[in-house]
Amino acid sequence: MRSAHRVETVRAAEAALMARVPDGALMQRAAAGLAAACAGLLRRVYGARVVLLVGGGDNGGDALYAGARLARRGAAVHAVLLGARAHEGGLAALRTAGGRVAEDPYDVLAAADLVLDGITGIGGRGGLRPDAVPVARAARGSDAVVVAVDLPSGVDADTGEVAGEALRADATVTFGTYKPGLLVDPARAYAGALRLVDIGLDPYLPAPDLEALQHADVAALLPAPGAASDKYRRGVVGIVAGSARYPGAAVLAVTGALRGGAGAVRYVGHAADAVIAAHPETLVHAGPPAKAGRVQSWVVGPGLGDEPGVADVLASDVPVLVDADGLRGLTPTALAARSAPTLLTPHAGEAAALLGTSREEVEAERLTAVRELAARYGATVLLKGSTTLVCPAGGAGVVRVNPTGTAWLATAGSGDVLSGMGGSLLAAGLSAVDAGAVAAYVHGLAGRRAARGAGAGGAGAGRAGAPVTAVEVAVEVAGAWADVRGAAG
Instruction: Identify whether the C-beta of residue 102 lies closer than 8 Å to the C-beta of residue 78.
Output: yes
Strands (E), 297-407: 297-300, 320-322, 342-344, 380-383, 389-391, 399-401
Q: Is 237 helix (H, G, I), strand (E, B) or coil?
A: strand
Separation CA 425–CA 221 (nearest Å):
9
Closest CA to 197 of 385, 399, 441, 33: 33
List the strands of the sheet with 283-285, edge to edge.
2-4, 210-212, 399-401, 389-391, 380-383, 342-344, 320-322, 297-300, 236-240, 264-268, 283-285
C-beta contacts of 128-132 below 8 A and 24+ residues apart: 128/153, 128/154, 128/164, 128/165, 128/166, 128/167, 131/82, 132/53, 132/55, 132/82
Q: Which residues pair with 81 in a beta bridge?
A: 54
326 contact partners, CB below 8 Å, separation of at least 6:
240, 300, 301, 302, 304, 310, 313
C-alpha torsion 394→400→405→406, nearest 10: 70
- CA 148 to chain centroid, in Å, comes to 19
Q: Would you tell me how many other CB atoms lie within 10 Å of the CB of residue 471?
A: 18
* Helix extents (H) in 88-244: 88-96, 105-110, 133-141, 180-183, 188-191, 215-221, 231-234
pTM: 0.93
> Quick check: bond before 186 cis, omega within 30?
yes
The amino acid at residue 326 is G
Q: Which residues pair with 264 in a beta bridge?
A: 236
C-alpha torsion 203→208→213→218, nearest 10: 80
Q: Would you tell me how many other CB atoms lie within 10 Å of the CB of residue 32?
A: 15
Instruction: Identify whether the C-beta of residue 207 lies closer than 8 Å to the C-beta of residue 168.
Output: no
Q: What is the pLDDT along the chain (489 residues), one digit of tens a residue?
A: 999 999 999 999 999 999 999 999 999 999 999 999 999 999 999 999 999 999 988 999 999 999 999 999 999 999 999 977 899 999 999 999 999 999 999 999 999 999 999 999 898 888 899 999 999 999 999 999 999 999 999 999 999 999 999 999 999 999 999 999 999 999 999 999 999 999 999 999 999 999 999 999 999 999 988 777 778 788 999 999 999 999 999 999 999 999 999 999 999 999 999 999 999 999 999 889 999 999 999 999 999 999 989 999 999 999 999 999 999 999 999 999 999 999 999 999 999 999 999 999 999 999 999 999 999 999 999 999 999 999 999 999 999 999 999 999 999 999 999 999 999 999 999 999 999 999 999 999 999 999 988 543 343 333 457 899 999 999 999 999 999 998 876
SS percent in the chain: helix, strand, coil, step 5: 45, 15, 40
Separation CA 194–CA 48 (nearest Å):
22
